[in-house]
Amino acid sequence: MDEEKVRSVFEKEGIGKEITCPQAFAVSEKYGIDKLDISRYCNRNGVKIRSCQLGCFR
């Protein structure tokens, strides 16, 4: 996982300490970042994922 890439994308998209599941899917698609990498980044950095649609994020 390229943690710096995820951090940079989150900053660019204005994502702070919370992201919704639809936002996570959109970021994944737009920037080519694996959904699990987004999940891992969020878990490591205290970013809460809200409104999860499929249970992909923990």
What confidence score (pLDDT) does residue 48 get?
92
What confidence score (pLDDT) does residue 57 get?
54
Q: Break the chain down into helix, strand, coil percent, rounded to 5.
A: 55, 10, 35
pLDDT along the chain (58 residues), means of 10: 92 96 94 94 93 65
What confidence score (pLDDT) does residue 5 get?
95
- DSSP secondary structure, 13-37, as one string: HT--SEEEHHHHHHHHHHHT--HHH
What confidence score (pLDDT) does residue 19 get?
95
Question: Are the C-beta atoms of 41 and 3 separated by less than 8 Å?
Answer: yes
In the chain, the number of structural domains is: 1
**Token pair of 15 as six digits:** 């994502």
58 domain residue, yes or no = no
Domain that includes residue 15, residue range: 3-50
44 domain residue, yes or no = yes
What confidence score (pLDDT) does residue 55 get?
63
- In terms of Cβ atoms closer than 10 Å to its own Cβ (0-12, 13-18, 19+), residue 53 is exposed
